Amino acid sequence: MHRTKVRVVRNALDANDTIARANRADFDRAGVTVVNLMSSPGAGKTTLLEGALSGLGGVRAGVLEGDVRGSLDADRIAALHIPVAQIETDEGFGGECHLDANMVRSALPSVPLDELDLLVIENVGNLVCPAEFRVGEDLRVMIASVTEGEDKPLKYPLMFRACDLVIVNKIDLLPHLEFDLDKLLYHVEAVHPGVERLLVSARTGEGMEGVRDWLVRAAVRERVPA
Amino acid sequence: MHRTKVRVVRNALDANDTIARANRADFDRAGVTVVNLMSSPGAGKTTLLEGALSGLGGVRAGVLEGDVRGSLDADRIAALHIPVAQIETDEGFGGECHLDANMVRSALPSVPLDELDLLVIENVGNLVCPAEFRVGEDLRVMIASVTEGEDKPLKYPLMFRACDLVIVNKIDLLPHLEFDLDKLLYHVEAVHPGVERLLVSARTGEGMEGVRDWLVRAAVRERVPA
């Protein structure tokens, strides 16, 4: 039975990669850079996007929101007049704990790709499964909140290894926590040597200029086809 | 293809329930109350157990630790001389984002059930999938950290609905957050009317007496067979 399960998982991942490549081809045709944004529940993905996407200069940004249930996050982004589409994994997808390439594909008709330079896909809050499913993105970003403890890279290594940028959020809370920032960064470096890191507080705005710069560079860089 | 997937998931859940009943029968025979403890990554499950399990009077407690990778949490519990066994979901289970009944069953030979009154199973940090898999437990407890925002019950309703107790942790940080505790409790009540709630800071110890009382009552209550 265990072997069967492994085979089912492998087939599902292969099918996912095929659809991810189709998504990527559509993104490339439209000239959109796509960022897959991942974190634990409540690490601050939506707050970060609220702060980052309004100040991107000439870069036209849109958001695809993944959530198990509800449109709370999509409503927050829409309030900023940023184009947003929503995937609810509870409806038709069985309450999945991650986005996969097929879910993203099913939402693409609602995303005005030709009017965008940058599309951020906000994944379901989860430090495990989202890292296993490519959705056709160019880049992967994860947010680690300082309230989650220094040990998370060691406990969820795939997520920290799979991403191109680690954003350490909620640094305004550091004076109120028993949290060793150097220890977190040491653990990040141990599981993903050389990965880019940004320290921010999405709430106070500290360090957010760096996030905006990173996103602008991602949107205008010479894009490598899939 | 979508239908096939749903069927595979149903079969897996049925098999899980069969094994969960076998686990429960073993727990009942040994007279152990089993608590399935769930939360986001970094919400404070291990810190809460460190604070709660040392002060349970005559109740003999043990822990079964689930983690994707590493034995950091198990080591912390073992340091308190509390019997602890570990399931690493990365090895042999494909890096699962939750514990299922079969993983728990495979670890039972390492758990001295006959010497325990209470076994706490610390699940993988995740607000989605752990709620879908019974492991044979009597009671389910979830921890919501105030750093995660007030909207989590609306976004992860199954987790909040599936549990018998909601522990709201890290209340020592309330003065430093823009967080409306009443709003969180209102949302908890909306998705799970009448569910018991405890407000605590596992770090400062505030409210932890209530957690210990709850666990002692759980361990000595008249147990209802599965």
Residue B3 has pLDDT above 50, yes or no: no
What confidence score (pLDDT) does residue A195 get? 98
- What pLDDT score was predicted for residue A88? 82
Give tens-digit pLDDT for B5-37. 555 556 667 889 999 999 999 999 999 999 999
Per-residue model confidence (pLDDT) at position A67: 86
Contact (CB, 8 A) for A144 and A184: yes
> A125 and B127: CB-CB below 8 Å?
yes
Which chain B residues have a beta carbon less than 8 Å from that of A67? 155
Phi, psi values for residue A168, rounded to 5°: -95, 110
Gap from B147 CA to chain A (nearest CA, Å): 7
In the prediction, which pLDDT does B101 show? 95
A30-39, A62-71, B85-94, B204-213, range with the lowest pLDDT: B85-94
Q: What share of chain B is helix, strand, coil (3-state, %, to 5)?
A: 45, 20, 35
**Residue B139 has what pLDDT?**
97
Per-residue pLDDT reduced to its tens digit, B182-195: 999 999 999 999 99
Do A6 and B94 make contact, defined as CB atoms within 8 angstroms?
yes
Is the pLDDT at A38 greater than 70, yes or no? yes
Q: Do A126 and B124 touch (CB under 8 A)?
A: no
Which pLDDT belongs to residue A186? 97
Q: Do B95 and A158 touch (CB under 8 A)?
A: yes
Interface check for B1 against chain A (CB to CB < 8 A): the answer is: yes
Distance, in Å, from the CA atom of B33 to the CA atom of B113, rounded to the nearest integer, reads 10
Tokens of A106: 């099913």
- pLDDT, residue B125, reads 93
Q: State the average pLDDT over residues B56-74.
A: 91
CB-CB contact of B34 with B219 (8 Å): no
Give the type of residue at B89. T
| Mutation site for B-interface testing, chosen from A147, A159, A201 by largest number of B Cβ within 10 Å | A147
Query: How much is the average pLDDT of A132-143?
Result: 96
pLDDT digits (tens, 9 = 90+) for B90-110: 766 667 889 999 999 999 999
Supply the pLDDT for residue A168: 98
B128-169 confidence digits (pLDDT tens): 999 999 999 999 999 999 999 999 999 999 999 999 999 999
Query: Residue B3: what are its φ and ψ, rounded to 5°?
Result: -65, -45
- Give me the pLDDT at residue A70, please: 83
Transcribe A7-46 into DSSP letters.
HHHHHHHHHHHHHHHHHHHHHHHHT-EEEEEEESTTSSHH
Q: Is B176 part of the contact surface with chain A (CB cutoff 8 Å)? A: yes
d(Cα B83, Cα B80) in Å, to the nearest integer? 9
Angle CA(A14)–CA(A17)–CA(A23) in degrees, nearest 5? Answer: 150
pLDDT at B14: 82
Reduce the secondary structure of A176-211 to three states and give it as a string: HCCCCHHHHHHHHHHHCCCCEEEECCCCCCCCHHHH
Indicate if the pLDDT at residue B46 is higher than 90: yes
Q: Is B31 on the interface with A (CB under 8 A)?
A: no
Percent of chain B with pLDDT over 90: 81
Q: Residues B116-155, buried b or exposed e (16+ Cβ, 10 A)?
A: bbbbbbbbbbbbbbbbbbbbbbbbbbbbbbbbbbbbbbbb
Query: Is the Cβ pair A128, B9 closer than 8 Å?
Result: no
Inter-chain touch B155–A41, beta carbons under 8 Å: yes
pLDDT score at B190: 97
